[in-house]
Chain A
C-alpha cells in the first residue's frame, strides 16, 4: 500500500516559546488507515493535527500528503488544499450557526463545486438526521451537532479526515455512538482517518496508535 502521509524530521516550535512542542517526528500513514494520536494534555496532539490540516507550517522537516508537499505552501494554496483534500471534526462541533443542518452539509459541496444531487439526503439518512435538515445548530443536542459535523467532514469525499477530541464534549454513551458512526462511515467510504484524543476508548478500534510523549512519537 502506498503511503498517503509522509512526515520526515517534522519539528514545531511556536514563535515566542523557547522549547519546541516536538522535533524530528518521522511517520507514514497509509491510505485508508485509521490512526489515533494519544498523549497527555499539552503534548502536542492538536499541534500535529494543525500541521496535517495545513493550518500551520512546521518549523523544520517536511510533510507530504497525497504527494503534495505541505511545508512551504502559501495561505491560498493551503486553503485550497484544505478545501479539496481534508475534512475536519472538532471537539466543539463548530457548525456554522447561521446555516441550517442541510446548509452546513452543503457548504463543502458548494466550496468544491460538486453537484449536490441527492448526496445530502443520503448523508442525512446515514447520520440518522433526516428530520433535522431544516434546524439550526443551536436547536440540536451536542451528539446531533457532532453527527452533522461528521457528515460535513465526509460529504465531499476528502482524502483525509482529521478529528480533534471529537467526543470531548459528549457523555460516554453518546461518545460511543458518535465514534461508531464515524468509524462505520470512514470504513465504508474508505477514507483515511486521524483522531487526536486522550481517551483510550476512542483509540481502541484504531489500526495504529501514535503516542506523543515529551516531543517524541513512541509506540505504546
Chain B
C-alpha cells in the first residue's frame, strides 16, 4: 500500500512535469509563424478570402493595425489592432461561452477592448467613450475593459483591440488589411510557406515572423529546444524512479510470489499478473498526473506570458487548450513508460526460486550487480554512431543524448559501490563501526539504493547542465549585445516593419538628425525578406558608419577586407546560423532575386548573431541600391559626438519624434537591459523545471530510503538489542543518505558540465547554428551542489527520526 502511494506520488509528480513541458511547448508552437504584408502598405481583403479558400486548414487571421492618439497635452499615443473576432481569434480562458464578454465588440461597431489600466488612463472617470484621432480624422470609441483572466493572455498597455470591420471603418480603409497572420505547422513549414508565396499576387510578401521579432522569437525557439531535451531527461529520471518503486514492491512480496510458484502458478502467469498490476497503477497515476500537469502548465504559462505579452498578435492564436487526444496520448505514454520500467523487476519476480519463499530467505536483495557495462558500451557506441549521423536533425541529437545518458547513468550504482567499497577498506579502525555498518548496508543493498542515487544524480546532472547552458548562453548574448550595441540611442518602428520610402518617418528623422551638431553619425537598418534560391531569405540592409562597424564580430573573414569592399562591390556578410545552415564559407555566393533577375553576392565575412536562428544576409545600403529600388528604414542608431551629450541628444530626438506614435526610442543600456530581461524571463521556466526535476527525484530518494528502513526494521532491532543506542542508529541511517548525496553530487557536477557542453556544442549548434564559449558559473554550480547535498540530507531526516525511535523489543517481535 505504501508502495502504491509512492508509485502514485512519483508518477504524478514526474508525469505532471512532463505534461507541463509538452503543454507549454504546444502553446508556444501554436503561435503565429508567418505574417503576410504588402510592400506598399495595405493588402486587399480579397487576398484573405482567396487564402482562406486555398488553405482552409491554416485559418489565416486578418489584421489591420494602425496608430492613433487621444488628443491632449501631451497626446496619448495608442495602437489600434483590428482582429477577426467572429472567428474567435481572441480566445477566452476556460470555457468558450466565457467569450460572451466579447459580444459587444461585434454588436456595436464603435467599441474597443483595452486592459483596465489603459481604460482608466484614457477615460479619466467620465463616460465610457474616448475621442480618438486617426490620421487627421476624429472618431468616438466606446472602451470596454477586457475582463481580467478571461482572455488567454493579458492585453498589453495602450493597445485597443477592435473587430476588423470596426478597424476598417475607423481607419477609413474599407476592404483593406495591414497583414494576414498565419500559423504554419512545424512540419514542412518552409514548403508551405513557399506554396503560399507562389500563390500571392505581386507586391505581397510572406515574412517569417522570426525576422520581425528577432530576439524573442529566437530565444523562444532556443527555449523550446532545450525544453525538449530537458523533458527527455526528466523521462529518464522518472523511469529510474518507477523502476525503483516497482522493484521495491516486488522485493517486498518475494515470499508471496515464491508461494504462488510453489502452488503451481507458471512464470508466464506471474509475469502477466505483475505487469497488469503495474499497468493499472500506471493508468491511475497517469490520469492524476495529466490533471496535475494541466494545473502546473497553467502556472508555468503565467511565467511565459510576460515574454509574449508584448507581441500583440500572438494573442490571436494562442489557445489554452489541449486536445483530449493529446492528453490521451500523454497518459498512454505514461502507462507505457511504467510498463517498460516495471518489466525488469517483473521478470525478476518470475525468477524467484520456490525454495527462497519456503525458507523465508531473500538471496536476490544482496545479489551482485548485474553486468551493466555491456549495456553501457552498447549505448555509448549507439550515441557515437548517432552523433556521426547527425547533422541538422535534432531528433537524432536527442536520441544520442538519451543513449549517452543511459550509458552513463546505469554505471552510477557501480561507481557508487566502488566508492563505498573503497571507503570501507579505508575505515578499518574500530572508531568507525557505525559508518562501517552504514557502508555495508549501502554496498549490500545496491539494488535498492542504486536506482535512487541514479535518479538523484541524473536530476542533478540535468540541473547543472541547464545551468551551464543558460549561463553560457546568457554571457554570450550579453557580450554580443555589448559589442553590437554601439550607438547611444536607437529609434525603431514599434512593430519593426519598415515603411516605404515615401511615408517613412525614419527617413525624415534621419536627415534631421544628421543635421544636428551633437550627432557624430547615424547608422540605419532595414529588415526585409527576399526570395532566394532555397526559399525566402532574411535580408538586412545596413548603413554602417565607422563607429558602428566595430560592433560586428567576425567569426570568419578579416574585418579590414570586408569594410574595404563593403559598399563598393557586390559583397555580403552573413550571420553564423546562415552560414551554418547553408554550409557556406568565405568566398561562396548568395543568390538573391532582384527586379533585374537573380544576382550573386560574394560572402566576405561571417559574423556572430544570436538574434535570428534561421540566419540573415546583410548588404550595405549602396550595394542594395545598385540592385533594388530604395527601401525604407526599420531602425536608426544615433552616435553622439560626446559622451556627455547623450541626455540632451535624447531629448532632441524625443521632440523630433513626438508626432509619431509608431516610433520607439531606446537608450543603449535600456535596450541591452530589455533584451537580457526577455532572455531571463524566457529561461525562468527552464530553470523552474530543472528544480522541479530535482524535487521529484528527492521524492524518489526519500521513498527508496523508507523502503530500505522497512526492509531493515529487524536488523535495526537486532542492532539496538546488541547495545547500539538510538543516536548511533540514526548516525548509521544518516551516513547512508550522506554518502548517497555526496556521491550523487560529485558525479553530477562533471557530468552536468558535460551535458551543458553537449547542449551548447551539439543541440544548440545543430538547431541554430550558434557557437558560444561554454562558461561555467561556479557560484551557481556551488549553489546547486549545496542544495543537492542539503536535499539528500533532508531526505534522510524522516528515516533517521524513525531509526532514532526504534524500540528493540517491538522491532524484534515484528520479525
Q: Which of B122-130, B673-681, B718-726 contacts A (4 or more CB under 8 A)?
A: B718-726
Decide: B723 and A86 in contact? CB cutoff 8 A. Answer: yes
Decide: B723 and A75 in contact? CB cutoff 8 A. Answer: no
Q: A53-B721, A113-B430 are in contact. Are A98 and B815 (CB under 8 A)?
A: no
The answer to whether the Cβ of B628 comes within 8 Å of any Cβ in the partner chain is no
The answer to whether the Cβ of A80 comes within 8 Å of any Cβ in the partner chain is yes
Cβ proximity bits A90-109 to B, threshold 8 Å, 1 near / 0 not: 10101111110001000111
Cβ proximity bits A23-36 to B, threshold 8 Å, 1 near / 0 not: 00000000000000
Decide: A88 and B433 in contact? CB cutoff 8 A. Answer: no
Cβ–Cβ < 8 Å partners of B440 in chain A: 96, 98-99, 103
Q: A86-B723, A107-B433, A111-B723 are in contact. Are A98 and B808 (CB under 8 A)?
A: no
Picked from B437, B445, B808, B812, the residue with its CB within 8 Å of the CB of A99 is B437
The answer to whether the Cβ of B55 comes within 8 Å of any Cβ in the partner chain is no
Cβ–Cβ < 8 Å partners of A97 in chain B: 366, 444, 715
A:105-159 near B, CB below 8 Å: 107-113, 116, 136, 138, 152
* A interface residues, tally (CB under 8 Å): 35
Picked from A79, A84, A86, A136, the residue with its CB within 8 Å of the CB of B720 is A79
The answer to whether the Cβ of B79 comes within 8 Å of any Cβ in the partner chain is no
Cβ–Cβ < 8 Å partners of A95 in chain B: 718
B:693-734 near A, CB below 8 Å: 714-715, 717-726
The answer to whether the Cβ of B362 comes within 8 Å of any Cβ in the partner chain is yes
Cβ–Cβ < 8 Å partners of B724 in chain A: 79, 83, 111
In whole angstroms, how far apart are the Cα atoms of A50 and B720 in the complex?
12
Interface centre among A76, A96, A136, A152 (most CB of B within 10 A): A96
Q: Which residue of A lies closest to B714 (CB)?
A: A94
Decide: A138 and B363 in contact? CB cutoff 8 A. Answer: yes
CB distance from A160 to the nearest CB of B (A): 13
In whole angstroms, how far apart are the Cα atoms of A136 and B366 in the complex?
10
Cβ proximity bits B236-256 to A, threshold 8 Å, 1 near / 0 not: 000000000000000000000
Decide: A94 and B812 in contact? CB cutoff 8 A. Answer: yes
The answer to whether the Cβ of A82 comes within 8 Å of any Cβ in the partner chain is yes
Q: How large is the interface on B (under 10, 10 to 19, 20 to 34, 35 or more residues)?
A: 20 to 34
Picked from A90, A136, A138, the residue with its CB within 8 Å of the CB of B718 is A90
Cβ–Cβ < 8 Å partners of B725 in chain A: 75-76, 79-80
The answer to whether the Cβ of B361 comes within 8 Å of any Cβ in the partner chain is yes
Q: Which residue of A lies closest to B443 (CB)?
A: A98
Q: A98-B444, A113-B430, A136-B444 are in contact. Are A107 and B721 (CB under 8 A)?
A: no
Q: Which residue of A lies closest to B429 (CB)?
A: A110
Interface centre among B714, B717, B718, B719 (most CB of A within 10 A): B718
Decide: B441 and A98 in contact? CB cutoff 8 A. Answer: yes
Picked from B361, B366, B719, B808, the residue with its CB within 8 Å of the CB of A55 is B808
Q: A94-B714, A138-B363 are in contact. Are A110 and B430 (CB under 8 A)?
A: yes
CB distance from B714 to the nearest CB of A (A): 7
The answer to whether the Cβ of A56 comes within 8 Å of any Cβ in the partner chain is yes
Picked from B715, B808, B809, B813, the residue with its CB within 8 Å of the CB of A96 is B715
Q: A55-B809, A99-B440 are in contact. Are A83 and B718 (CB under 8 A)?
A: no
A:47-100 near B, CB below 8 Å: 50, 53, 55-56, 75-76, 79-84, 86, 88, 90, 92, 94-99
B:713-760 near A, CB below 8 Å: 714-715, 717-726
Decide: A96 and B437 in contact? CB cutoff 8 A. Answer: yes
CB distance from A178 to the nearest CB of B (A): 18
Picked from B436, B437, B714, B722, the residue with its CB within 8 Å of the CB of A108 is B722
Interface centre among B440, B722, B807, B809 (most CB of A within 10 A): B722
Decide: A98 and B723 in contact? CB cutoff 8 A. Answer: no
Picked from B363, B714, B722, the residue with its CB within 8 Å of the CB of A88 is B722
Q: Which residue of B lies closest to A53 (CB)?
A: B721
CB distance from B735 to the nearest CB of A (A): 13
In whole angstroms, how far apart are the Cα atoms of A26 and B501 in the complex?
114
In whole angstroms, how far apart are the Cα atoms of A34 and B723 in the complex?
23
Q: A96-B715, A97-B366, A136-B366 are in contact. Are A84 and B723 (CB under 8 A)?
A: yes
In whole angstroms, how far apart are the Cα atoms of A195 and B437 in the complex?
29
In whole angstroms, how far apart are the Cα atoms of A138 and B355 in the complex?
13
Q: Which residue of B lies closest to A111 (CB)?
A: B723
Cβ–Cβ < 8 Å partners of A56 in chain B: 809
Q: Which residue of B lies closest to A84 (CB)?
A: B723
Cβ–Cβ < 8 Å partners of A90 in chain B: 718, 812
Interface centre among A109, A111, A116 (most CB of B within 10 A): A111
Cβ–Cβ < 8 Å partners of A103 in chain B: 436, 440
In whole angstroms, how far apart are the Cα atoms of A46 and B810 in the complex?
11
Decide: A83 and B723 in contact? CB cutoff 8 A. Answer: yes
Picked from A46, A88, A92, A98, the residue with its CB within 8 Å of the CB of B445 is A98
B:423-437 near A, CB below 8 Å: 430, 433, 436-437
CB distance from B367 to the nearest CB of A (A): 10
In whole angstroms, how far apart are the Cα atoms of A108 and B430 in the complex?
11
Cβ–Cβ < 8 Å partners of A116 in chain B: 430
In whole angstroms, how far apart are the Cα atoms of A41 and B785 in the complex?
55
Decide: A98 and B809 in contact? CB cutoff 8 A. Answer: no
CB distance from B111 to the nearest CB of A (A): 74
In whole angstroms, how far apart are the Cα atoms of A107 and B437 in the complex?
9
Cβ–Cβ < 8 Å partners of B813 in chain A: 46
CB distance from B569 to the nearest CB of A (A): 79
Interface centre among A79, A95, A113, A138 (most CB of B within 10 A): A79
Q: Which residue of B lies closest to A56 (CB)?
A: B809
In whole angstroms, how far apart are the Cα atoms of A96 and B433 in the complex?
13
Q: Which residue of B lies closest to A49 (CB)?
A: B809
In whole angstroms, how far apart are the Cα atoms of A46 and B717 in the complex?
15
Q: Which residue of A lies closest to B364 (CB)?
A: A138
Cβ–Cβ < 8 Å partners of A75 in chain B: 725-726
Picked from A50, A80, A94, A136, the residue with its CB within 8 Å of the CB of B723 is A80
In whole angstroms, how far apart are the Cα atoms of A76 and B720 in the complex?
11
Decide: A98 and B437 in contact? CB cutoff 8 A. Answer: yes
CB distance from A102 to the nearest CB of B (A): 12
Cβ–Cβ < 8 Å partners of A136 in chain B: 366, 444
Decide: B721 and A55 in contact? CB cutoff 8 A. Answer: yes
In whole angstroms, how far apart are the Cα atoms of A75 and B440 in the complex?
26
CB distance from B263 to the nearest CB of A (A): 23
CB distance from A146 to the nearest CB of B (A): 14
CB distance from A212 to the nearest CB of B (A): 17
Decide: B366 and A111 in contact? CB cutoff 8 A. Answer: no
In whole angstroms, how far apart are the Cα atoms of A98 and B808 in the complex?
19
CB distance from B725 to the nearest CB of A (A): 4
Q: A56-B809, A98-B443, A98-B445 are in contact. Are A83 and B722 (CB under 8 A)?
A: yes
CB distance from B258 to the nearest CB of A (A): 15
Cβ–Cβ < 8 Å partners of A86 in chain B: 723
In whole angstroms, how far apart are the Cα atoms of A86 and B361 in the complex?
28
Decide: B719 and A96 in contact? CB cutoff 8 A. Answer: yes
In whole angstroms, how far apart are the Cα atoms of A99 and B721 in the complex?
17
In whole angstroms, how far apart are the Cα atoms of A92 and B550 in the complex?
82
In whole angstroms, how far apart are the Cα atoms of A110 and B432 in the complex?
9
Picked from A55, A80, A82, A111, the residue with its CB within 8 Å of the CB of B433 is A111
Cβ–Cβ < 8 Å partners of B809 in chain A: 50, 55-56
CB distance from B356 to the nearest CB of A (A): 10
CB distance from B429 to the nearest CB of A (A): 9
Q: Which residue of B lies closest to A142 (CB)?
A: B359
Decide: B812 and A107 in contact? CB cutoff 8 A. Answer: no
CB distance from A84 to the nearest CB of B (A): 7
Interface centre among A95, A109, A110 (most CB of B within 10 A): A110
CB distance from B161 to the nearest CB of A (A): 69
CB distance from A139 to the nearest CB of B (A): 9
In whole angstroms, how far apart are the Cα atoms of A36 and B718 in the complex?
22
- 16 residue pairs A–B, Cβ–Cβ below 8 Å: A46-B813, A55-B809, A55-B812, A79-B723, A79-B725, A81-B723, A83-B724, A84-B723, A94-B718, A94-B721, A96-B715, A96-B718, A99-B440, A107-B433, A109-B430, A111-B722
The 6 closest A-B pairs by CB, nearest first: A83-B723, A79-B725, A98-B440, A110-B433, A98-B444, A94-B718
Additional pairs, 5, CB under 8 Å, beyond known A110-B430, A116-B430: A55-B721, A81-B723, A82-B723, A88-B722, A92-B714
